Amino acid sequence: MSAPVRILFVDDEERILRSLALQFRRHYEVLTESDPLRALRRLREEHIHVLVSDQRMPQMSGAQLLAEAREIAPNTLRILLTGYSDLDAAVEALNNGGIFRYLTKPWDQQEMAFTLRQAAELAVRQAQPLQAVASEKLSAPLTLLSLDDEPDTLSVVGEFCVAGGHNLLRARNLAEAMLMLNNENVDILVSDLKLAGEDTAPLLKTLAQAHPRLLSLVVTPFQDTQALLRLVNEAQIFRYLPKPIRRGLFEKGLKAAAEQALIWRAQPQQVVTRLAEVPRDEREQEKVGSLMGMLGRLRERLIA
């Protein structure tokens, strides 16, 4: 009999913790902490599959907790739970905490249960022994695709590729992007939310389903908290970086993406811990379905 999945909930409100424990203790080994410092100590001493943290707590924010948890236990899947619409917190939780999902209070019981089930399955899957991968595959250059026509962005990405010996592709519109994605093995996507006047969000959400290994960095002047939350949950984006770009922050994000891409090369496809939600908007579902069909060659190549 396999060991139960262990989920740690962290919230400074005992009432919330009791409610969560009552809801999920039949399915998981539920642990609770009202003090984030005790939660971090627990992560150092015990194996936790999934960590769910509130955002607003007196000792430290949930985003800070998840960032520290990532350093202590990188294989623990991290979920942020909050009742506030806070762009800075969402960006910090994504960029520094590497969150799996962003959930809002009051939570929907079915949505929470579904999210925890997905997280639990991924956490168990990634704990399995890995197969050895040929060293030449790990050292092969990465391929980056840019969906951003601003000179500053192209300059930083270009310099990064030259310095690292990576390949750089550039698409001027979504049609070119689809062609390149179907024909090239793209590891990292750098994209604004607009390209030649077209919305790139449906493509990002499609790629999260069609190509979970592909890492997306969104570089944009738009500051919409709800749009970001949808990108976290439905596109599983790797980084969200503001414009005008800050070179140091951008370079740090590219470096982190390259390191993660190489790590994933060493893992079977099914171990990659990314699982996007289906878009809730019906029109966007239709767009994603259409784009999925247009990425047929990409999906065939990944399955082969």
Neighbours of 251 (CB within 10 A): 16
Answer for the pair 230, 224: CB distance below 8 angstroms, yes or no. no
Average pLDDT of the chain? 90
Answer for the pair 120, 7: CB distance below 8 angstroms, yes or no. yes
Checking if the pLDDT of 94 tops 80, the result is yes
Parse the chain into domains and list their residue ranges. 6-126, 135-303
Q: What is the pLDDT of residue 88?
A: 86
Class of domain 135-303: alpha beta
6-126 and 135-303: same fold?
yes
Q: For residue range 206-242, list pLDDT tens digits in order.
A: 999 999 889 999 999 988 888 999 999 999 999 999 9
Q: For residue range 105-122, list pLDDT tens digits in order.
A: 889 999 999 999 999 998
Q: Which residue has the higher pLDDT, 124 or 200?
A: 200
Q: What is the pLDDT of residue 141?
A: 92
pLDDT category at 147 given cuts 50, 70, 90 is very high
Backbone φ and ψ of 31, nearest 5°: -120, 145
Q: For residue range 232-250, list pLDDT tens digits in order.
A: 999 999 999 999 999 999 9
Strands 198-199 and 194-195: antiparallel
Tokens matching residue 57 = 């707590």
Q: What is the mean pLDDT of residues 264-268?
A: 74
Q: For residue range 66-92, list pLDDT tens digits in order.
A: 999 999 999 899 999 988 777 888 899
Q: What is the pLDDT of residue 1?
A: 45
The identity of residue 263, as a single letter, is I
Class of domain 6-126: alpha beta
Q: For residue range 41-71, list pLDDT tens digits in order.
A: 999 999 999 999 999 999 999 999 999 999 9
Angle (CA) 160 261 281, round 5°:
100
